Amino acid sequence: MNESIFERNRAAWNEALAYHQKARNNALQLGFEDPEFSTLDRDCDGILMGMLDKIDLRGKTIAQLPCNNGRELLSLIRYFDANEALGIDISDAAIEEARQLAAIAGLNAQFLRTNLLELDDEYNHAFDFIYISEGSLQWFPDLDEYFAVITRLLKNDGQILIFEIHPFAYIKDASSYFDKGPYSYEEGLDYVGGVAYEAKECCWFMHRMSDILGALRRNRIEVLEFDEYGVEMANDPAFQGQDKLPLSYILTGKKK
């Protein structure tokens, strides 16, 4: 594990959160005052909700790893009336906002600022369900390390759902589908407002679909369902009108 990579990414995401918050202009804080509010309302989220409706999360313990500012995790708690939840992220600013949103929403969610790979044994076998959302896997250089943590956090027969940007969608930012990297977003990480800025250095990694599936298998997660879509998830104008390549995928799995 290269600690300097994670610390650089931590600084970059702390910087980016200020741009995200400025672009949203307290929309999340105002939204979570409404008990019916959800952030899972994008066009692509119809795919997600259709899959989640097959999983009974009522009264279950759930986690999102990483969770950014907690908006999706809080929305999942409300939708499924989950019992309790944990969100983990490396960004101090993201976790600070997540705790604020949880307090506004009055939901039973804890948020922990840490490098997920350094999580201690306190949460082993604690979760019925773990959600992995778009833009998560690319920040971990070794997916075997990442999914080893996911496996030890899941209860026996616990389930995961990955709703992610397809590796093909990263090709425009990488030298090759087969070149792991690392790569950097030199114009910043403001995917909310789309503001370009001279950003702190960050490091992300290209993972082929075979890398992802292989790491799941090696870490005792059985794939239950898998599908690919031409649905773009990251508001990237480069893919507007694109329907020739898979741009997103969804996968459910169970700890064996």
Instruction: Enumerate domains of the chain plus CATH numbers.
Output: 3-255 (3.40.50.150)
pLDDT per position as a tens digit, 221-230: 999 999 999 9
Share of the chain above pLDDT 90, in %: 92
Residue with structure tokens 């910043």?
188
Share of the chain above pLDDT 70, in %: 97
Rounded Cα distance between 20 and 251, Å, is 28
Of the candidates 242, 223, 224, 222, which has an alpha carbon nearest to the alpha carbon of residue 232? 242
Tell me how far CA of residue 147 lies from CA of 79, 140, 218, 221, in angstroms. Answer: 26, 10, 9, 9
The pLDDT value given to residue 141 = 97
Of the candidates 156, 128, 157, 160, which has an alpha carbon nearest to the alpha carbon of residue 146? 160
Average model confidence (pLDDT) across the chain? 95
How many residues appear in the chain? 256
Stretch 10-26: mean pLDDT: 96
Q: What is the pTM of this model?
A: 0.95
Residue with structure tokens 């496996």?
151
pLDDT per position as a tens digit, 52-98: 999 999 999 999 999 999 999 999 999 999 999 999 999 999 999 99
pLDDT per position as a tens digit, 19-44: 999 999 999 999 999 999 999 999 89
Residue with structure tokens 């093909």?
168
pLDDT per position as a tens digit, 182-191: 999 989 999 9
Q: At what angle do helices 209-218 and 143-153 cross, to 10 degrees?
A: 40
* Cα–chain center distance at 25: 22
Q: What is the number of other CB atoms lying within 10 angstroms of the CB of residue 165?
A: 20
Tell me how far CA of residue 205 lies from CA of 53, 80, 147, 174, 185, in angstroms. Answer: 31, 33, 15, 9, 11
Q: Which amino acid is at 245?
A: L
